[in-house]
Amino acid sequence: MALVAVVLISIGVFFMFAGTIGFLRLPDFYTRMHSTGKSDTLGMVLAFTGLALYNLDHGLTLSSFLVSLKIMFIAIFWFVGSPTVTHTITRAAFKSKIAPWTKDGRHVIDWPPDKGGSK
Amino acid sequence: MIQRTANIIPRTIARILIPAIQVFGLYVIAHGHGSPGGGFQGGCILAASFILMTIAYGLEDTKRRFTENMNNILSSLGVFIYALTGWMCLLLGANFLDYSALSAILPADPVKARYLGMFIIEVGVGITVMAVMVSLFIDLVTGGKHGEGL
């Protein structure tokens, strides 16, 4: 079980590393939220699952099971909360008329969006 | 006037998460004297659930569920519990907040009375911190004029 835990934590750390590189290198707000929002969620959930499994490695008693259950509660909380927060922040940025990045500076859609906004 | 967001995602998720946050706040308060946590931290977590409710549903809904009168009563009640416990110790002939003297009125020996006294103190601190944090948040987002802002 420790081997599975190590593999899960390694994959989680890899996803968080990719998300951090994306956060540092991508050009504007929306692409940065795109990078961190998804890969951080998956990375943290995998890492927490790995920690819960690693905690069970020294024998399945009631107390260690409870600690693993609490860790999995954190993982579920993160899994529900993080995409919602990403969605809300990005929506707020869209309503604040932050222009999305394009390579040559041209707007690929009508910008700022004026119809349908509840301002 | 708070603009009611037409977005269903934060409201649904907030409806799922707010009870979990409040149960966790009670857990932190109740285990404050035996593990990391305590009245202040648990009160802050409880207040965070009300702040999340305000962000997702608007200030009017929050003020309907957690009225200003209730806020004043709770913030005074916590201080009252704290001070009452301390003064009971004084009246029973010990120092302020010397919980072991409470064994005269609680059904417990001095060691268990210390434990229970600390728990009562944590509950009082948690109630006051929750009420005052929500009050501070409402004052900040409305600029002091309750009912406008955010």
Domain membership of residue A111 (yes or no) is no
- Encode B101-133: b = buried (16+ Cβ within 10 Å), e = exposed: bbbeebeeeeeebbebbbbbbbbbbbbbbbbbb
In whole numbers, what is the pLDDT of chain B averaged over residues? 86
Q: Is A10 a domain residue? A: yes
User: Does the ipTM surpass 0.85?
Assistant: no
Detail the DSSP E strand segments found in chain A. none
Quote the minimal CA–CA distance from B78 to chain A in Å. Answer: 29
Give me the number of domains chain A comprises.
1
pLDDT at site B143: 80
Residue A35 falls inside a structural domain: yes
Residues of A in contact with B6 (CB under 8 A): 118
Instruction: Say if residue A13's pLDDT is above 90.
Output: yes
Q: Is B9 on the interface with A (CB under 8 A)?
A: yes
Whether residue A79 lies inside any domain: the answer is yes
* Structure tokens, A52: 């819960």
- Within 8 A of A80 by CB-CB distance, chain B residues are 13, 16-17
The domain in which residue A46 lies consists of 2-95
Instruction: State the pLDDT confidence band at A119, using cuts at 50, 70 and 90.
Output: very low
pLDDT tens column, A23-38: 999 988 999 999 999 9
pTM of the model: 0.80
CB contact (8 A) between residue B6 and residue A118: yes
Tell me: pLDDT of A17 over 90: yes
Specify whether the CB–CB gap between B102 and B89 falls below 8 A.
yes
Could you tell me if residue A104 is inside a domain?
no
Nearest to A77 among B3, B5, B20 (CB): B20
Q: In degrees to the nearest 10, what's the CA dihedral of A109, A112, A116, A119?
A: 160
Q: Lowest-confidence range among A28-32, B8-12, B102-106?
A: B102-106
